[in-house]
Amino acid sequence: MNIADRRAGLCQVAELAGVSLSTVDRVLNERGSVSDAKRRKVLQAARTLGLRRLLPSPTHGLLRFDLLMVNSPTDHYRRLANGFEQQAQLLRSRLVLQRHTWDEKDPDQLLELINQPRTARQGLLVVAHDTPTVRLALKEQMALGVPVVLLTSNLSDLAGATYIGIDNYVAGRSAGRLLSRWAHVDGGKVLLITNSLLYVAHQQRVSGFMDALQQYAPGLDIVGPIQCHDDPTLASHAVQDAITENQKLAAIYDTGSSSAGIRLALVNNNIRPVWIGHEATNEHAQLLREGLLSLVLDQDPEGQAKAAIQHLLYRNGDLEELPQGAPQLRIVIDETLPD
């Protein structure tokens, strides 16, 4: 391409972006200061026109993403945090991941973290309860141009945000379908334990599970859902109460992470109903080997972390195309465990 053709191409970029030719020159050759808004317009125009040259990053310096995680000791959130740490290390020349946690017992902490960022941010990664105040706060951030990614659990009525995670309704239906094949279909009781129904993920798992049992095993009676908030003591009491009140406990489905409490109640009563849980962890591997746990559904938190970061890079223009592939629902049984 000769000089005249190159200049014509730059003029087209300037016209499409609505900026001067000198601004296009400064952006593409990284000469001098240009506002982020104009910088993004120029680079978007260059990509739209298929400008044949290596384009610079659309932002100055490192991208800053805020990660707002619930303060939970469960293996799922530990794995999710480790997945983000790996991504932050791999991409440390391109981004800074600013990690924050909030307490489920104090939801105002989450609102403060959403509404009052400590530094300018180019992306927001959030694990959140589905409440009107949270949705409003996130809508305001998106109105300011901050892309929002919802982790693990979606939110209702929040257009513009991107959910990264498995289909939790399908996960619940899968648990119900598999359980219907194992458990006795007549007269048995099924204990349904969940974390908190403030999370859309647990609402969807519960709904999918109940729909599948109604379809495939209507003879099984469901006890619950009982919200145990991933508290082993509450879960142990729930199992013990179900055993005491219903002598024929056929199965347990836990949509959350209360396995230690469930195990304690089963061992104390010397019974082994069908038991389906979530997440591939060392604890669950041991329970599968012991024959107490029947299977687990894993939501691939490491894949969630990778997909979430790549989505924010794409939204900031650091990736020309959004990588394909999403976190996959995986079924783990004793036969699939490593030696």
* pLDDT tens, position by position, 122-143: 999 999 999 999 999 999 999 9
Place of tokens 């009140």: 245
Residue 337 in any domain: the answer is no
Question: Could you tell me the pLDDT band of residue 57, with boundaries at 50, 70 and 90?
Answer: low
Q: What is the pLDDT of residue 266?
A: 93
The reply to whether 234 and 319 lie within a common domain is no
Q: Please give the residue that has the higher pLDDT: either 20 or 56.
A: 20
Residue 99 placed within a domain: yes
Q: Is residue 55 part of a domain?
A: no
Helix pair 3-17, 36-48: axis angle to 10 deg: 120
Per-residue pLDDT band for 229 (boundaries 50, 70, 90) equals: very high
| 56 — pLDDT class (breaks 50, 70, 90) | low
293 lies in some domain? yes
How many separate domains does the chain show?
3
Greater pLDDT, 245 or 5: 245
**CATH number of the domain residue 154 falls in:** 3.40.50.2300
Higher pLDDT, 234 or 10: 234
- Higher pLDDT: 175 or 9? It is 175
Statement to judge: residues 159 and 306 lie in one domain:
yes
CA distance 288 to 282: 10
Q: Please tell me whether residues 158 and 306 are part of one structural domain.
A: yes
In this structure, the answer to whether residues 161 and 271 fall within a common structural domain is: no
Residues 176, 214 within the same domain: yes
Q: Is residue 294 in a domain?
A: yes
Q: What is the CA radius of gyration of the chain?
A: 25
Q: What is the pLDDT of residue 58?
A: 55
180 and 103, same structural domain? no
- 141 C-beta neighbours (distance < 10 Å), count: 21
252 & 284 share domain: yes
336: which 2 tokens? 């699939």
- Verify that 27 and 118 share a domain, yes or no: no
CA distance 74 to 76: 5
C-beta atoms surrounding 290 within 10 Å? 12
**Average confidence (pLDDT) over 43-69:** 74
Q: Tell me: pLDDT of 1 over 50.
A: no
Q: Please state, rounded to an integer, the average pLDDT across all residues of the chain.
A: 87
Question: In the prediction, which pLDDT does 228 show?
Answer: 94
Supply the range of the domain harboring residue 34: 3-48
* Backbone phi, psi, residue 95, to 5°: -150, 160
The pair phi, psi for residue 194, each rounded to 5°, is: -135, 170
Confidence tier at 151 by pLDDT (50, 70, 90) = very high
Q: Is 98 inside a domain boundary?
A: yes
Query: Is the same domain home to 189 and 277?
Result: yes
Mean pLDDT of 233-248: 88
Q: Are residues 69 and 101 in the same domain?
A: yes
Using CA atoms, how far residue 169 sits from 117, 119, 166, 204, 219, in Å, is: 33, 36, 9, 5, 22
pLDDT tens figures, 194-214: 999 999 999 999 999 999 999
The CA distance from 39 to 51, in Å, is 15
Give the pair of three-digit tokens for residue 213. 């049992």
The reply to whether 294 and 174 lie within a common domain is yes
339 within some domain: no
Is 57 within the bounds of a domain?
A: no
In angstroms, rounded to a whole number, what is the distance separating the alpha carbons of residues 267 and 232? Answer: 14
- Indicate if 223 and 182 belong to the same structural domain: yes
